[in-house]
Amino acid sequence: MRFGWFTGVILLVLSNAAMAGGASDLRKLLTGADNRGWEAVGRLDIAGRAFCTGALIAPDLVLTAAHCLFDKVSGAPVDPEEIEFLAGWRNGQANAVRRVSQAIAHPDYRDEAGERRKSVGFDLALLRLVSPIRKASVEPFETDDRPRKGSLVGVVSYARERSENPSLQEECKVLARRSGMLVLSCDVDFGSSGAPVFSFDEDGKARIVSVISAKADIDGREVALGTRLKAPLADLMALVANGEAPPVAPARSGVKVFTLGGGESPARTTGGAKFVRP
């Protein structure tokens, strides 16, 4: 995908989005009642230095973004044992806390300079927990097919200045589907990497249809980029079933597309987090 072509598509989509109206506001999930049904979304604390967002898709498997598995300065893979999943993290407490025993990034994901835009559709990873989370209040999410252009979706994420409580955006829009990725109107920020993108059926049941990979800054205007899910996730599930962990390439951000992993990981208090743009 040529960057000029990519930029043109994004600018066109933003123009259409402006005419259609903006996305709904974020709503902080401050209480247990607010967070009911979203407890399987959690904060990923990474080596005590950064954080991302992840979600359970099985009692022992967390879905997140592949670039969260790399040190954002050196590009070196993070030791899985230095990653911790805080399910339903809210106001200094979690429904469950687990260390990670295995981290598998999609083997086609690349984040070297000039390659990031081409592999957003593969910016996906699975984390196996040291032990399953088996609590009635923490129910793993099902997954579903990629939504069509114009579909309404929702996102639950942590991010800077809201690292201690998840936030829900109940309605944002799929602006385009390009080269295996989704262009979204969703409000994301640093720390939102790996956040689940949900579709909702007629009964309101939420299923994960994408994962937040990045935001694109086009002439000062931002959109969110989401991964495709079905085929890359099937690849990862096969690797997990076979007990394989393929080698991964160092992560490097491009000029116009910013990864959304956090900067310094916040202390487990009600304080916020400090962030540095990649």
pLDDT in tens, 213-225: 998 875 676 889 9
Q: Which domains does the chain have, with CATH numbers?
A: 3-259 (2.40.10.10)
Please give the pLDDT value at position 263. Answer: 43
Please classify residue 105 by burial: count the beta carbons closer than 10 Å to its beta carbon, then call 0-12 exposed, 13-18 middle and 19+ buried. Answer: buried
What is the rounded CA–CA span in Å between residue 272 and residue 179?
A: 36
Residue 91, pLDDT > 50, answer yes
Please give the pLDDT value at position 84. Answer: 97
For residue 266, what pLDDT band results from cuts at 50, 70 and 90?
Answer: low
Proportion of the chain above pLDDT 90, given as a percent:
59
What is the rounded CA–CA span in Å between residue 47 and residue 78?
A: 7
- Which H or E run contains 15? helix 3-20
Residue 33, pLDDT > 80, answer yes
Residue 248, pLDDT > 60, answer no
What is the rounded CA–CA span in Å between residue 120 and residue 139?
A: 28
What is the rounded CA–CA span in Å between residue 45 and residue 52?
A: 7
Please give the pLDDT value at position 16. Answer: 30
For residue 111, what pLDDT band results from cuts at 50, 70 and 90?
Answer: low
Average pLDDT along the chain:
80
Please give the pLDDT value at position 275. Answer: 25
Which residue has better confidence, 234 or 275? 234
Residue 250, pLDDT > 80, answer no
Please give the pLDDT value at position 246. Answer: 59
Span 88-92, mean pLDDT?
A: 95
Residue 66, pLDDT > 60, answer yes
Residue 156, pLDDT > 90, answer yes
